[in-house]
Amino acid sequence: MINKRNLIIAAAVVAAVLVAGLLFWALRQQSQLNEMVEQLEFEKEALQDEYEDLAIQFDGYQQLDVRNDSLQDLLYREQQRVKDLLEELRITKVTHARRIAELKKELATVRQVMVGYVQQIDSLNRTNARLTEENKQYREQNTRIVAENTQLAETNTQLQQTVSRAAMLEMTDFRLITLNRHDRKTTLFSKIQKLEFRYSIGKNITCEPGLKYVYLRIIRPDGEVMTKSEDNVFEFENSRIEYSVRQEIEYTGEEMSSVMYWPVEEILYSGVYNADFFVDGNQIGSFPFSLKK
């Protein structure tokens, strides 16, 4: 009887020990599981923070001046990929350790891709900056060249004008003589039948010698040009203007004198006239004279 009781007591003790051992093991497993879950939660939060930081970096890169459409599209696609992975990470349970590990590997891949894109952006920006600076230098150089050419053209124009002025003939003397019908000098207004214009042209070794036309325009007191024909015109300052008398001379560069005549075939006006002389498209003299009754 005693032996049976002892056996029961011994069995109860063993059972109690086994239950205690199992309980201890279960509590320890639960503790380890809790620690593992906490570690996974920590890793998930850290990974989520990394994804969020990467998303912010992509937002910053989208603000860069990326002058390459293909690279811009690639950046946009990677940015969208990061957003999608971040969203997946947020809804993935911490106990899904395998998927979290895969998301961590994908994060590393995206980082590498991003580094490559950033290097390309930096390279493009440096190249663009260099080209911009070179273009600026070229523009400044072209501006200087244009300014120098403009200055040179102005100088050449001034020199040409100086040479033209130096080569322009100048009338040094003028006299009007009124003649009667016998070609004798008269001072009687009613007897005037011819106007004699005596003139002298000064010496000019710069002017090209040779045959030249001297044009005389006789302007009446009312401002009209006295002419024998409407075809009597010549070129002056890009216009065709009337002349009264034309005379051909041979100019040698030395001072010379000549005479031009105007037969009076119209009614003369009393008043102040003007005699304008032109050679080689230049006005070389202008002289007023009076005819009074």
% of the chain surpassing 70 pLDDT: 72
Joined together, the tokens standing for residue 2 give: 């005693």
Q: Encode pLDDT of 175-202 as tens digits.
A: 999 999 999 999 999 999 999 999 999 9
Q: Determine the Cα–Cα distance for residues 194 and 265; give it in Å rounded to an integer.
A: 9
Q: Which pLDDT belongs to residue 90? A: 72
Q: Where are the domains of the chain?
A: 2-128, 171-291
Q: Find the mean pLDDT for residues 29-57.
A: 66
Q: According to the CATH classification, is domain 171-291 in 2.40.10.340?
A: no
Q: Encode pLDDT of 254-284 as tens digits.
A: 999 999 999 999 999 999 999 999 999 999 9
Using 50, 70 and 90 to split pLDDT, how confident is the model at 162?
very low
- The model scores a pTM over 0.75: no
